[in-house]
Structure 1
Amino acid sequence: MNKSRTILITGGCGFIGTSLIAELLAKKQFNNIRILDNFQEGTPADLEEITQYEISTAENCHMHAGIVLVEGDIRDSETTRLCCRDVDCIVHLAANTGVPPSVKNPRMDMESNVIGTFNMLEAARHNNVSKFVFASSGAPAGTVEPPIHEELPPHPVSPYGASKLAGEGYCSAYYQTFGVSTVCLRFGNVYGPRSKKKSSVVAKFIRQALAGEACYIYGDGSQTRDFIYIDDLIKAIELAITKDIGGETFQIASGRERTVDEVADVIRGIIKSHGKEIIIKYDQPRLGDVKRNFSDTSKAKQILGWKTSMDLERGIALTVDYFLGEDRSR
């Protein structure tokens, strides 16, 4: 890849963003990495853990080479337009993430995930950005008989699923109408090192168990999800960046159905080997959650040449090691 190329990563200070940046730096895939973040989740301190960077404004960021951090919000169309100047590729990770926040505040979810994504696509169009990778989710599918695949008619249950579906729709439209090479990646439940601030099952349970707090399962524990290790996810993003494709959507997950109880048991065994205990309690199911969710990833294997390599038990063990390292560093 031409090292003079510039990539913009929205939400780049977060769990997935910092993991992607670390991999891009290791492989020297881009000489210029521009990061747009409002610091609601990830912070400059999180970015500092992996690299040095220069702080800039949206107005001036195109004048800087190397790694540049801009504080700004994707809901502001002028900020997004300015940040996309002289950019070759956008990886759009910034979003309101997760079902519960979208149920609590559906307007905020819509503004972040629909208006924010629209602003980024408009900025890509006006700045002639050639590739746009959109972080989506299995949530647009809603209540369907899994495995979820890309051709299933979507029936989102939560506002979060609806907002991500809208983002996918705009990505399709901007490819078909304006020629922006969009790729939508429907992430499974991502876990792994650097997930210290995530509120999803694996990170939350590990964090709570190490703190001696009870871990709550919402429902009877038989609900299923598809868990994907961060390194496998980053490989999919890299392939979406480099492959000459557009207007496509891919399920990016392990392709294996796991119950929440099953995952809690794996965490229990690994935590116990470190001399800790996990306390599991059950509560009422949450609004917007689906009962079953796992993916058919055959399209990603066929077109992207992608497949997972990390098994759940090993991945969770590495994640626990990371959290224990975080504890020791404090």
Structure 2
Amino acid sequence: MMNVLVTGARGFVGKNLCAALKNIAEGKDRSFPLSPDLRVLEYDLQTDPTLLDGYCKDADFVFHLAGVNRPKEQEAFMEGNFGFTSTLLDLLKKHRNTCPVMLSSSIQAELDNPYGQSKKAGEDLLFRYAEQTGAKVLIYRFPNLFGKWCRPNYNSAVATFCHNIAHDLPIQVNDPSHQMTLVYIDDVVRELIHALCGQETRDGKFCRAEPEHHATLGEIAEQIRAFKQYPQTLGVPDLTKDSLVKKLYSTYLSYLPESCFAYKLKMNKDERGSFTEILRTAASGQFSVNISKPGITKGNHWHNTKNEKFVVVHGRGLIQLRKIGTDENNQPYPVVNYEVCGEEITVVEMIPGYTHNIVNLSDTEELVTFMWANETFDPEKPDTFFEVVE
């Protein structure tokens, strides 16, 4: 059994880290080279302080995340960021416990302000502790961290922007050109668990979490405002792996009020059924749902470049395709038929240069088809030409 002590367990980083460690302990996450035989010892302001002595005796690794960011009095910076660190290390010394200790510091430790000075004092204390005891220490000078569960209107511009914009509250951007260095919370947690496995990322005598993202305050605010419009535009952001926009969008969604979790879509209805767009993307096309009433045929058109994928998810239908034009004998090309149903999910490609349709074969049931197109519909250039399949 490995005992992992997490101070500041109810804070932003602590809450995310503890959740990840518990997933490992419960066997839900096997993506790390770590045995599930671990116990998380959570310590925070609400914890009985008498428990800390036993935790320091039993700990096999310490994540020291507790700290003070915005105290009422400046003196509390040193008390919270240096004083408690001193208490923690004294208890480890008392029990001759030389387990590894990770310290959450800040890039502001390089600055001459009360917060930076207190963080620097904590760093120096930990380095001296390592010299005295031989214990392994890992000090992370974190830049601006962001992600779910970060407290808005406190010390994170991203959290404040996401919360306020999601709740239709104003935001204040004092200097839009201010450059921000950001690290996403999932990347921080992944790095910390790797550190627990002895695989930390070193940067000289300090450690770091990667990747770092860079953007101006104005760019971040503008991007988050765009997220607010997605239920109306049906847009989604750039979902490229490790893109800043992808991570900002996940963060923004975590601040949505419950009343905004769901939104209605416009169903284009007629006597044949309905057609409803779900998503429009800049790089990955358009996603839609088509509902055909019993006996109805839809389509009978072809495209030059646009291609689509049809997936019937309910009902029984017939998808037909025929190549445009005639063969060498001046005869129409044969019709290709695919009978499909919701009980056996099948993808049928709509090939450029082939006119196609979809027929509901049922006399009683609606036919429900999920559709993807490689481009969003442009009424100025529809690339859609009527021609009956047969």
Which whole-Å CA distance do the structure 1 matches of 2:134 and 2:68 have between them?
27
Q: Which residue of 2 aligns with 1:204?
A: 160
How far apart, CA to CA, are the structure 2 residues paired with 1:233 and 1:132?
A: 16
- C-alpha spacing 1:30/1:184, structure 2 compared with 1 (3 Å): farther
Identity of aligned residues (%): 25
When residues 130 and 137 of structure 1 are mapped into structure 2, their CA distance, relative to the original with a 3 A threshold, is same
Deviations 1:20-72 (A, max 9, x none): 11211222345211111114xxxxxxxxxxxxxxxxxxxxxxxxxxxxxx344
Tell me if 1:167 matches 2:113.
Answer: no
Q: Report the Cα offset of residue 319 of structure 1.
A: 1.1
Q: Which of 126, 133, 150 is equivalent to 2:102? A: 133
Identify, as 1 or 2, the structure richer in helix. 1
Separation in 2 of the partners of 1:327 and 1:133? 40
Cα deviation per residue 1:191-221 (whole Å; 9 max; x = unaligned)? Answer: 1122255731111111111222211123x22
Residue in 2 that maps onto 1:257: 214
Q: Unpaired segments of 5 or more residues in structure 2? A: 26-35, 234-240, 262-390
Q: Does 1:193 align with 2:190?
A: no
Query: Is contact 1:207-1:323 (8 Å) kept?
Result: yes
Corresponding residue SS for 1:130: coil
Is the CA contact 1:138–1:186 (under 8 Å) kept in the aligned structure 2?
yes
Aligned partner (choices 76, 82, 93) of residue 114 of structure 1: 82
214 and 258 in structure 1: CA distance in 2 versus 1, 3 angstrom threshold = same
Deviation sequence 1:170-197 (CA, Å, 0-9, x none): 1111111111211001112111122255
Superposed, which structure 2 residues align to 1:1-330 within 5 Å? Answer: 4-28=1-25, 29-39=36-46, 70-72=47-49, 80-97=52-69, 101=70, 105-127=73-95, 128-141=97-110, 156-197=111-152, 199=154, 200-218=156-174, 220-243=175-198, 248-274=205-231, 310-324=242-256
Shift in alpha-carbon separation, 1:217–1:160, aligned structure 2, 3 A: same
Greater fraction strand: 2
Checking the alignment, whether the CA contact within 8 Å between 2:9 and 2:15 is kept in structure 1 is: yes
- Assess, with a 3 A threshold, how the Cα gap between structure 1 residues 172 and 265 changes in structure 2: closer, same or farther: same
Q: How many angstroms apart in 2 are the aligned matches of 1:23 and 1:117?
A: 24
Residue 18 of structure 1: how far off its partner (Å): 1.7
Q: Secondary structure at the match of 1:214?
A: coil
Q: Which moved more, 1:204-213 or 1:241-250?
A: 241-250
Q: Distance in 2 between matches of 1:181 and 1:204?
A: 36
TM-score for the superposition, normalised by structure 1: 0.66
* Unaligned runs of at least 5 residues, structure 1: 40-69, 73-77, 142-155, 277-308
Q: Deviations over 1:235-279 (max 9, x none)?
A: 111122221789941233543432111111111111222459xxx
In 2: Cα distance, 1:248 partner to 1:175 partner? 12
SS of aligned partner of 2:208? strand
Tell me how far 1:234 sits from its aligned partner.
Answer: 0.4
Q: 1:182–1:248: 8 Å Cα contact kept in structure 2?
A: no
Aligned 8 A contact 1:9 1:91 in 2: yes
Distance 1:19 1:257 in 2: 23
Q: RMSD value over aligned CA atoms? A: 2.5
1:164 Cα offset (Å): 0.8
Contact 2:183 2:213 in 1 (8 A): no
